[in-house]
Structure 1
Amino acid sequence: MAATHIFDAPPEGAASDWTISQNWRGFTPAQHATWRTLLDQQSAALAGYACEDFLRGLDMLRSVGPGIPDFAGLNRHLKPATGWEIVAVPGWIPNEPFFDHLANRRFPAANFLRPPEQIGYSEEPDMFHDIFGHVPMLANPAFGEFLVAYGQAGLRAEKLGASDFLGRLWLYTTEFGLVVENGELRAFGGGILSSYAETIRSLTSHDPRRIWLDIDRVMRTRYHFDEFQRIYFVVEGFGELLRATEEADFSRIYKKIAGEATLDPEDDFPGDLAYEGPLQPVRPGPAFMQQEAPR
């Protein structure tokens, strides 16, 4: 299916920063039912796999009602607790407004929901991916500060023509990051946690590589959009993730790696430090796992 929510310019009704009205009352009972099914199934599946901060944030998300969350109501809980608010956008938005929203503690969320026939896997990042996959992590202060720092770095990267390098940091942390928590490997990336099959693979399978986070390595590593990730980067905690971002001289890294070959996930790198801790045991999976798209 071709992407249907990518635009060259803000569509009709969108502001210059790409925000739109959520029009919460316009969602149908069937769409609210799809959201409830997704929320209930995915929440139940993640116990023991998602990090504790994600699960705590998920409780806040559940508190605003059983259907698609009204962003205005969600923000009344979210902003006092975290300093963040959710803004509705039409879909995939360009880098500059995306970075600007993050730098100002606004998390952009796509204002469309996957259809029922794609309930296990959506080909586009939809509202469920954005809200379920990312918003719970805002409950962790260090992770929230990391997103602010990332947005600020993104605005600088736009001027340097280095957004592709920085984009890999987003993909390998915010989307597909792993964290060690109380000696156990857990997931915190939204791309993992909104996909049951990728959650299981990332935490239990011996097939993918797991490497301790190194900013230079991440920015040089090619990302695959159309299959499960072959490499995951691990952090010791979200304070470490924030410190690594704050202490890294991104402009130096951009200049250094601009002339170097892009690495495939399978490639060896002299500084690689493999995660050698225990993996999670495989638990019986829910029936909806069978609906995950094959990759």
Structure 2
Amino acid sequence: MSGDGLSNGPPPGARPDWTIDQGWETYTQAEHDVWITLYERQTDMLHGRACDEFLRGLDALDLHRSGIPDFARINEELKRLTGWTVVAVPGLVPDDVFFDHLANRRFPAGQFIRKPHELDYLQEPDIFHDVFGHVPMLTDPVFADYMQAYGEGGRRALGLGRLANLARLYWYTVEFGLMNTPSGLRIYGAGIVSSRTESIFGLDDPSPNRIGFDLERVMRTLYRIDDFQQVYFVIDSIQTLQEVTLRDFGAIYERLASATDIGVAEIVPGDAVLTRGTQAYATAGGRLAGAAAG
């Protein structure tokens, strides 16, 4: 929920930290119905695709009920499990605000929901992407620690001018990460689990590269925000992410300052290639549809 080039001050009606009231009582039945439609079609397909940590979180928070979740309700269980809470924001927030929320175990989520004709693609993340996609993973203690450490690291990256590199880490883990499990490749990234079509594309399509996770490789890799990904990075476990946060990024940033960026479709020496993609989807021009906002 961070964004570049945003105003330094919150919009009218927002608090100094950019939070707003969710206004759960103001949702219409039509808006609740959109949530139910999205929820049911995603959960129908995610068993055998999403990682166990996500599925356990989905069950723990009981996100279905009768429609859009009330943050006050789900925060009770989320805080009990990992000390996190969800806070409503009016949309994308400045990077420093976003990092401060994460560092204090608050996840900023949009409170609007997409329209019925936007079920498959939405440019700006809505409450379904933010809550269904992100929040179940925050019930896992190891992932919850990773997200807090990411927020703390973000404040440092801003001061060092290395935000672009850190943003790539978020993109390829929190948003579009895959995991190798004993049962096979699984999804944990919010941008995939909240999208019906990318849940299929990310695991099954021969087009994208799938490469073993390497921190500096990830932080050098460009990404696209307007369509399916051309590369996915695969971790061995959530513990991998915790180990990443224990490193001193200072020395890494120094090396990255003189390193060249890696294109979204490139395979470079040293890559642990799980799938060498055909890139057929991207070569054909894509279709700017299906990938959930992230």
**Which whole-Å CA distance do the structure 1 matches of 2:38 and 2:267 have between them?**
38
Seq. identity, %:
48
> Which residue is equivalent to 2:289?
293
Give the SS at the match of 2:60: helix
**Which whole-Å CA distance do the structure 2 matches of 1:142 and 1:253 have between them?**
23
1:47 aligns with 2:39: no
**Which whole-Å CA distance do the structure 2 matches of 1:98 and 1:64 have between them?**
27
**Which whole-Å CA distance do the structure 2 matches of 1:40 and 1:133 have between them?**
13
> Which residue is equivalent to 1:286?
none
Structure 1 segment 1-295 matched on structure 2, within 5 A: 7-8=6-7, 9-62=9-62, 65-247=65-247, 249-275=248-274, 293=289
- List per-residue Cα deviations over 1:252-272 (Å, max 9, x = no partner): 222211222211022232221
Q: Aligned in 2, Cα 1:230/1:64: closer, same or farther, shift over 3 Å?
A: closer
Q: Aligned in 2, Cα 1:230/1:63: closer, same or farther, shift over 3 Å?
A: closer
Give the SS at the match of 2:93: coil
Q: Aligned partner of 2:270: which letter?
A: G
CA drift at 1:65: 2.4
Q: Aligned in 2, Cα 1:293/1:268: closer, same or farther, shift over 3 Å?
A: closer
- List per-residue Cα deviations over 1:93-140 (Å, max 9, x = no partner): 111111111111111101111111101221211110000001011121
Give the SS at the match of 1:275: strand
Q: Aligned partner of 1:246: which letter?
A: L
Give the SS at the match of 2:274: coil
Q: Aligned partner of 1:28: which letter?
A: T
Q: Aligned partner of 1:265: which letter?
A: V
CA drift at 1:214: 0.8
Contact 1:85 1:107 in 2 (8 A): yes
CA drift at 1:276: 5.9
CA drift at 1:275: 2.3
**Which whole-Å CA distance do the structure 1 matches of 2:259 and 2:106 have between them?**
34
Contact 1:114 1:126 in 2 (8 A): yes
Contact 1:133 1:190 in 2 (8 A): yes
**Which whole-Å CA distance do the structure 1 matches of 2:136 and 2:227 have between them?**
25
Contact 1:100 1:155 in 2 (8 A): yes
TM-score of the aligned structures, taking structure 2 as reference length: 0.89
Contact 2:196 2:290 in 1 (8 A): no
**Which whole-Å CA distance do the structure 2 matches of 1:252 and 1:270 have between them?**
22
**Which whole-Å CA distance do the structure 2 matches of 1:142 and 1:294 have between them?**
30
Q: CA RMSD in A?
A: 1.9
Q: Aligned partner of 2:110: which letter?
A: A
Q: Aligned partner of 1:57: which letter?
A: G
Give the SS at the match of 1:123: coil
Contact 1:84 1:106 in 2 (8 A): yes
Q: Aligned in 2, Cα 1:294/1:97: closer, same or farther, shift over 3 Å?
A: closer
Q: Which moved more, 1:82-91 or 1:255-264?
A: 255-264
**Which whole-Å CA distance do the structure 2 matches of 1:76 and 1:294 have between them?**
33
Q: Aligned partner of 2:237: which letter?
A: G
CA drift at 1:245: 2.3
**Which whole-Å CA distance do the structure 2 matches of 1:28 and 1:60 have between them?**
25
Spell out structure 1 runs of 4+ moving beyond 6 A. none
Contact 2:41 2:196 in 1 (8 A): no
**Which whole-Å CA distance do the structure 2 matches of 1:96 and 1:149 have between them?**
14
**Which whole-Å CA distance do the structure 2 matches of 1:61 and 1:41 have between them?**
18
CA drift at 1:60: 2.5
Unpaired runs of 5+ in structure 2?
277-287
Q: Aligned in 2, Cα 1:231/1:34: closer, same or farther, shift over 3 Å?
A: same
Unpaired runs of 5+ in structure 1?
1-5, 278-291
Contact 2:81 2:141 in 1 (8 A): no
